[in-house]
Amino acid sequence: MKVGERIELTFENLALGGEAVARTADGMVVFVRGGVPGDRGLVEITKRKRQFATGKIIELLEPSALRISPRCEYFGRCGGCKWQYLAYPDQLRFKHQQVIETLGHLGKLQDVPVKEMIGMDAPWYYRNKMEFTFGWDEQEGLILGQHFPERWDLLVDLHTCYLQSETSVAIFALCREFARKHGLSVFSSATEAGLLRLMVVREGKHTGDLMVNLVTSGENFPELDRFVRYLTTAYPYLTGIILTVNRRKGQSSQGQEELLLFGKPVITETLNGLSYEISAKSFFQTNTIQAERLYQTVQRMAGEHPQGVAVDLYCGTGAIALHLAPQFQTVYGVELVAEAVLNAQQNAARNNLTNVSFHCGEVQKVLPDLFQTVPDVMVIDPPRAGLSKKVVREILTTAPRQIIYVSCNPATLARDVAMFTEGGFEILEVQPIDMFPHTYHIETVVNLMK
């Protein structure tokens, strides 16, 4: 089998990362993006390795009984949600199976008690933050939308989106209209010329707060005041309008300067009765409803320890630490990013929680001197890359009685949990949670006891 060869295949399963899995007559595994288990298709081989190959569907010969029509007209061109061709219950079923298989294959952890996915009752319009990119179409007309799948040089001009609120979509449309009407330029990474880069809309799903963040390559342009009036006339209840200036070549909503153009520099949101302030730069879970269920799961697993100590590693802006505060005598949060630590401290003060303290630095450096007693519970919510062996060793040396591991990457989760089991911990429960319906992403919480 060579690159460029075409072969008929029937897809058997979905792999971690969303690709369909098929096998050739001689047993070679082929991964194909866009396939559904049960599909039979003509596949062109695009990459050939010793143990597997990747391909793309040239023609769908026989669709699977599981395949449904995507709701969105941009499906396939927009690089956003990639699983709209599966009914939502089937999405949950495949994600659940992937957690089991990943723990087994990568972690060598068999017969693990994995609970059913916690899905959404209404898996549409759930995102509280969306980021659109400015660009040009083939006729050099200004567009605003999302990138094509796996392409950073092509954009699809989006006028509808079922992951964000209808208000967000309308605000994006208004910004596109304004930019076209006033002939504003678009930033090019190739030439490093042009003005408009990104638009970000953030919402408080429970509070109704609404922030618009315009990201440009420079702070001064003649139409800026008119832009503010344009938005506030249409949406006088906007909480704030921010201008973020990113002078670097790389396309990012994080800039070097931030200017308040209208209203407040933050929005507020509540999670399980706790109040948070969210700035343009703040990290905040993009699915408010499922974030509440995620933190409720952590609370339930942690239990009540009125005289106990809890530690929240990679605590970010302190969401988990604050949720644990009513259940423990003392809670410590550790986070590398100084700005996030400041936000966490502000969130604790905002909620009148005095038994939580936050500490800035690398986990392996901060942890040894953080407390004198053995912690009852240690919650770990690391980046996608998971934990280094040094950090795992430091955690095992600290010897908490219980570890609650929160992960957005089942592969690194399986690897790290396996190291904890080798270090004397037992898996009590695995709870997957669907934070991102219509995508292949999976959030998982694992409860381990010494």
Rounded to an integer, what distance in angstroms lies between the CA atom of residue 235 and that of residue 104? 51
CB-based contacts of 285, cutoff 8 Å, min separation 6: 291, 294, 319, 435
Dihedral sign for Cα atoms in the order 396, 398, 400, 405: negative
Of 81, 161, 315, 408, the catalytic one is 408
Among the listed residues 371, 373, 446, the one whose alpha carbon sits nearest the alpha carbon of residue 406: 446
3-state secondary structure at position 381: coil
3-state secondary structure at position 426: strand
Which contacts (CB < 8 Å, 24+ apart) does range 64-72 have? Answer: 64/11, 64/36, 64/37, 64/38, 64/39, 65/38, 66/36, 66/37, 66/38, 66/90, 67/36, 67/38, 67/39, 71/124, 71/162, 72/160, 72/161, 72/162
Rounded to an integer, what distance in angstroms lies between the CA atom of residue 85 and that of residue 124? 14
In order of 317, 344, 345, 369, the CA distances from 340 in angstroms are 5, 6, 9, 21
Rounded to an integer, what distance in angstroms lies between the CA atom of residue 449 and that of residue 9? 44
In order of 118, 243, 416, the CA distances from 381 in angstroms are 18, 31, 12
224-234 and 166-181 helices, crossing angle to 10°: 140
Rounded to an integer, what distance in angstroms lies between the CA atom of residue 432 and that of residue 438? 15
Rounded to an integer, what distance in angstroms lies between the CA atom of residue 239 and that of residue 263? 6
Residue-by-residue DSSP string for 308-376: EEEEEET-TTSHHHHHHGGGEEEEEEEES-HHHHHHHHHHHHHTT--SEEEEES-HHHHGGGS-SS--S
360 among known catalytic residues: no
Rounded to an integer, what distance in angstroms lies between the CA atom of residue 122 and that of residue 133? 27
Radius of gyration of the chain from Cα atoms?
24
389-398 and 410-422 helices, crossing angle to 10°: 40
Rounded to an integer, what distance in angstroms lies between the CA atom of residue 128 and that of residue 168? 9
Task: Enumerate the active-site residues.
Answer: 408
